[in-house]
Amino acid sequence: MGGVSSDSTQAYVGLGSNLQEPVRQVQRALEALARLSDTRSLRHSALYRSRPLGVAAQPDFVNAVAALETRLSPLALLRCLQHIEQQQGRVRHGVRWGPRTLDLDLLLFGEVQMQSPDLTLPHPDLHRRPFVLYPLYEIAPRLLIPGRGAVYELLTALSRDGLEVLNT
């Protein structure tokens, strides 16, 4: 939405899907993010194909990262992300680390560092996941992750592990 003023924060959201037309799932979620109230969508990365982390016997994932500017609180934004997941018929197959229709992770919320039962910021696995760090680097190459360091330095420790940019 327009009119996002100076009391707004830049937030980064990770998107992932490996069920029910993953490319379409991620595209629909990007559209839904752009429609959030009190929030403006700034840019997003390309869509990437990635090997599944966790349970290996599941389809490849499609991943992307979006940058938003928002006046929502971190928890209000998290609730919006969960709502979008539900709208897109999120199916969890009961397996931890297993396949999913749509996963939206709040990766970063400005400089906020917090740990609560509902939300940890920055996202605790962000710095070790190639399918998050490479797309993040694409849209914010100089970004600093509070408590972790610069994205471009974190990347040097991480192989691309089969990560591929998709032509969409």
Where along the sequence are the contacts to ligand ROI (CB under 6 A)?
16, 50-54, 61, 63, 97, 103, 131
Q: How far is the CB of 91 from ligand ROI (least distance, A)?
A: 13
- The token pair at 129 is 């996941």
103 counts as catalytic: yes
Q: How far is the CB of 22 from ligand ROI (least distance, A)?
A: 10
CA distances (Å), origin 155, targets 64, 110, 132, 152, 164: 16, 20, 10, 5, 15
Q: Active site residue: 35, 105, 118, 142, which one? A: 105
Which residue, 74 or 130, is less far from ligand ROI as judged by CB? 130
Q: Name the phi and psi angles at 35, rounded to 5.
A: -100, 0
Which residue, 32 or 62, is less far from ligand ROI as judged by CB? 62
CA distances (Å), origin 81, targets 45, 71, 111, 152, 156: 18, 15, 19, 27, 30
Q: Active site residue: 35, 51, 90, 129, which one? A: 90
60 counts as catalytic: no
92 counts as catalytic: no
Which residue, 24 or 97, is less far from ligand ROI as judged by CB? 97
- Strands 61-70 and 114-115 come out as unpaired
Which residue, 61 or 137, is less far from ligand ROI as judged by CB? 61
**Helices 22-34 and 74-87: angle between axes, nearest 10 degrees:** 140
90 counts as catalytic: yes
Q: How far is the CB of 63 from ligand ROI (least distance, A)?
A: 5
Is residue 102 exposed (0-12), middle (13-18) or buried (19+ Cβ within 10 Å)?
buried
Q: How far is the CB of 61 from ligand ROI (least distance, A)?
A: 4
Q: Active site residue: 92, 100, 128, 161, which one? A: 100
Positions marked catalytic: 90, 100, 103, 105
